[in-house]
Amino acid sequence: MSTPQPPVPQPPVPQPPAPQQPAPQWQGAPGVSYTSPIPVVRTHLGHALASEWTKIKSVRSTMWTLGIFLVLVVGIGFLVATQTDDASFTDVPFTIPAFFGLVLGQICLITLGVLVVSSEYGTGMIRTTFTASPQRHRVLTAKLLIFFAVAFVVSAVAIGVVGLFTQSLHSDTTGNEWGGTVLKGALYVSLLGVLSLAVGSMLRHSAGAITAMLGLVLVPAILPAFLLFSDSMRKIGEKMLDYNAPNSLAKIFGLDNEAGGGNAQLGLLAGVTAAAIVGAFVLLERRDV
């Protein structure tokens, strides 16, 4: 018998290549592509100012606080003016009746200054604000400028109206020039409001910031009554007595007849306000929302 031969291996049969899938044909947009009618411009401080002006005039707290401020300053000023005689204004300005209303009215500007910034933190809208304007320093700058402008104009108008009313009641009396008291009185209470805004930005809490500012205004007016009893603390008490808010306004309106007209007190408040603003800017950039 013959031995079987092993099968001879057959070469592999080449397979035809798989057919290529045609690339999808994407349909283009019909006609001309869409172009937004809203012009794209670079943002600047003017946009932030417009935004903050819209905010401050739209919320009810602004109308209420400024309305009460005007009622206090003008109402109390008119009431005091009607109780005076010609001899009361021989050597003092006609705006003195407005001083009595400002002592209470300054609390309204302090409250409004805090609410301008802290209310956004309380509601969470500050996230939307910083999303729309990532430049945080620009937002805070706009808030400071808008609030100062509103507070200064309203304060100056209120003091000026009281001065004109008082002058009309005593037209035969030649009082001192009172235009400077309008500007400096409005500037003092407006700076108090700006200081409150800066404190509100740092604390981010309405009740805490308002309490802190009320303490800053009221404690120096009350504490000297106790410090003057001690010989070692007398100098501190006297300085507090000279530079607290009520006495500073009294010097601005010429109630003490001292030289300077409250310029030193106004300068101290401006310095403290500037320091608080710097602190607010630094913390705004370093902290999260």
Q: Going residue by residue through the chain, which has 289 residues, state the pLDDT in tens, using 9 for 90 and above.
A: 556 666 666 666 666 666 666 666 655 555 566 676 777 777 788 889 999 999 999 988 899 999 999 999 999 999 999 988 877 777 778 889 999 999 999 999 999 999 999 999 988 889 988 888 888 999 999 999 999 999 999 999 999 999 999 888 877 666 667 888 999 999 999 999 999 999 999 999 999 999 999 999 999 888 888 888 888 888 888 888 888 999 999 999 888 766 568 899 999 999 999 999 999 999 998 887 7
pLDDT value at residue 241:
87
pLDDT value at residue 88:
74
Using CA atoms, how far residue 241 sits from 69, 72, 149, 235, in Å, is 25, 24, 29, 10
Burial of 59 (0-12, 13-18, 19+ CB in 10 A): middle
Residues 6+ apart with CB under 8 A from 226: 237
pLDDT value at residue 186:
95
pLDDT value at residue 177:
76
DSSP alpha helix (H) spans, 71-124 = 76-82, 96-123
pLDDT value at residue 238:
87
pLDDT value at residue 91:
77
Taking the C-alpha atoms of residue 149 and residue 141, their distance in angstroms, rounded to an integer, is 12
Output the DSSP codes for 171-235. Answer: TTS-----HHHHHHHHHHHHHHHHHHHHHHHHH--HHHHHHHHHHHHHHHHHTHHHHTTSSTTHH
Residues 6+ apart with CB under 8 A from 73: 98, 101, 102, 105, 155, 158, 159, 162
**Hey, what are 212's tokens?**
């802190």
Rounded (5°) CA angle 52-63-76: 130
Greatest Cα pair distance, the chain, in angstroms, is 157
* Residue 141 phi, psi (nearest 5): -60, -40
pLDDT value at residue 25:
60
pLDDT value at residue 225:
85
pLDDT value at residue 70:
95
This prediction has a pTM of 0.83
